Amino acid sequence: MKTYLRIQTVLLILLSLVACHSVQKDDTSITSPDEKLAINFQLEEGVPMYHVLFNEDTLIKPSRLGFELKDQPALKDHFELITAEILQADQRWEQPWGENKTIRDNYKQLKIQLKETTELGRLLTIYLRAYNDGVAFRYEFPEQKNLKEFIIMDELTEFDVVGNPETWWIWADYNTYEKLYQKTSMNEASWVATPVTMKTDNNVHISLHEAALTDYAGMTLKQKKDGIYEAELTPWANDDKVRTSAPVKTPWRTIQISSSAAGLVASDLILNLNEPNKLDDTAWIQPMKYIGIWWGMHLGTETWYPGSRHGATTENAMAHIDFAAAHDIRGLVIEGWNDGWENWGAKDAFDHMTPARDFDLKKVAAYAKENGVMIIGHHETGGDIPAYEKYMEAAFKQCQELGIQAVKTGYAGGIYPRGEHHHGQFMVRHYRKVIEIAAKYQLMLDVHEPIKPTGIRRTWPNMMTREGVRGMEWNAWSDGNPASHTVTIPFTRGLGGPTDYTPGTFDLLYKNAGERVKWNAEDISQTRTHTTLAKQLANFVILYSPLQMASDLPKHYKGHPAFQFIKDFNADCDESRVLNGEVGEYITVVRRSGDDWFMGAASNEEIRAFEVKLDFLDANISYTAQIYKDADDAHWKTNPQAYTIETKEVNADTTLSIQLAAGGGQAIRFVKK
């Protein structure tokens, strides 16, 4: 079947590609297939520039391109245009998992070849693409005699966004994305991580990001003059930005564009800009729900290290396996199972092969396999990259031998060697090495403290999900995530790819957690979750992840009527639609898994009511809607656990009235009758 799909894809490409053709030098513009977007290339006194229009209005004013190099003249001016070629493609491709299994890749491309007019005569190629959902461009350094090995010290790419749009952003940081989003004018968003989302005065929505980040530094955006963003790359310890050699291509610089916030979420631009799947066999890559020995540590009722409160004991692991098997939950992550946690922060602290003294790895793995539950291995590195890489392959091999098919990695803390950053080229290379070796041993990955997602999951579909967001655990020991946070993520961080936010907390006020011991310096001892219970269910649908965690302690799920939605939820979806939404305010998403549809709707701190048409359902067929919603008196702050469950017969002609409490949500399963 895999071979057939590849042949079919190749045939589609051959049928859909319009022959490349050269154009006159002054014909340096392309439009999107629907002709609503245009990206233009121009040389202004030898300086390469691009310009983006939407519905014939300027969206990105002429913005420069180029590079500063180390110990070599810059590549930023004195260029002449050698050739310009236009290509058009329209094809469909299949992915083994994703928000949508079938993706349309429909674009026009302009390939610009430049040459310096100086004595060096160096070459630079720029690719520009226009899709219906955005535009993108990247650089290529061709093979040439006057540019071989070189170091990029500054990428001069600019984004001169028209006006001063509303902007949802987090502060740029070379090591973490775990921050709350701010909403300000663009002028106040002086240095931002990507994806960064904007809304112009005429309601055009924009997201600036990157795709296909491979052997390059992660990009942030910094306002350096006149409110214009310029690429600011994460440096090596010695301030080099990118060490490379020609021929080489950079990541794509992406601008997702939509007339609505919902349209941004539905975009496939980031995925389409990545290379096709490199794996011949993907049958072992399977989305799933999972639980974990994890939440108790964040609450402070358990510890990662051995002792009287150790969470990862053999007995506790087997009890979790029993619970998972009984409730159709396929995965179990076990944190704190291995040696080294008592040496947290020290060099060479962790051993990812030797179990803790009270944990029988072989016994637990065998018991899980016997009960149809998949153990998700946990490899916390503490940022010690040399130590992890020393025996990573042996650890992955051990996972394969034990029947462990997924691994959650972690990089909490500073990076060894000191001075390197989580988002620099050093770590981008490491993260990719982990993905490739994991694929060799047929291991799926869930990466925490990661580099941001840029669509690499298309090329390496074992890269399932990643954190890179201020997730659920912050509710356990900080002032928490406000109700607006999870209705901001889909329009910001979520535009990059799957998000392991870990929803599903039922004990929202932690009244039944047990004795809690402060362990985190940020613990304010007044913690809680800032949503209603129904919104916790809705987040399973809204916050897409092919590995979707039910985060709470099993004791809080046992006998709870609302847990039925988690049991029924299928993380392996076939198609998705965004029915409505505004950044930081509300969102409604539906996803189909087989014959069932699942809906999640959620609000920020505001009470909200709206209607949704169910025209996504199959026509002329009746469905039972199993509805989990906020009770009439529910409120995230005063009455978060009040909910009701009801059923209703519906069809594709039905319009549902959705009522959301402050900080609330609604989750629905639609089942064919």
* Residues assigned a catalytic role: 473
Tell me how far the alpha carbon of residue 210 is from its chain's centroid.
Answer: 12
Question: Which H helix or E strand runs over 254?
Answer: strand 252-258
Q: How far apart are the first and last CA of the chain?
A: 32
Task: Report which DSSP code applies to 354.
Answer: S
Yes or no: say if 313 and 337 are a contact pair by the CB < 8 Å rule. no
Question: Which H helix or E strand runs over 458?
Answer: helix 456-459
242, with CB counted inside 10 A (0-12, 13-18, 19+), is buried
Q: Which residue blocks in 17-155 are alpha helix, DSSP H?
A: none
Q: How far is CA 305 from CA 161, 308, 517, in A?
A: 50, 10, 14
Yes or no: say if 318 and 334 are a contact pair by the CB < 8 Å rule. no
Rg, C-alpha atoms of the chain: 25
Q: How far is CA 322 from CA 319, 359, 394, 516, 570, in A?
A: 5, 17, 29, 25, 20
Residue with tokens 């409120």: 635
Give the span between the Cα atoms of 338 and 361, in whole angstroms: 9
> What would the DSSP string read from start to end of 35-72?
SSEEEEEEEETTEEEEEEEETTEEEEEEEE--EEETTS
Sign, CA torsion 358/362/368/371:
negative
Residue from 666, 406, 665, 452 nearest 546 by CA: 406
Sign, CA torsion 661/664/670/671:
negative
Give the span between the Cα atoms of 520 and 482, in whole angstroms: 20
Q: How many residues does the chain have?
A: 673
Q: Which residues contact 247 (CB under 8 A, 6 or more apart)?
A: 140, 141, 142, 143
Token pair of 650 as six digits: 């519906």
87, with CB counted inside 10 A (0-12, 13-18, 19+), is middle
Whether omega for the bond prior to residue 247 falls within 30 degrees of 0, making it cis, is yes
Give the span between the Cα atoms of 108 and 135, in whole angstroms: 10
- The neighbouring-strand residues paired with 128 are 110, 137
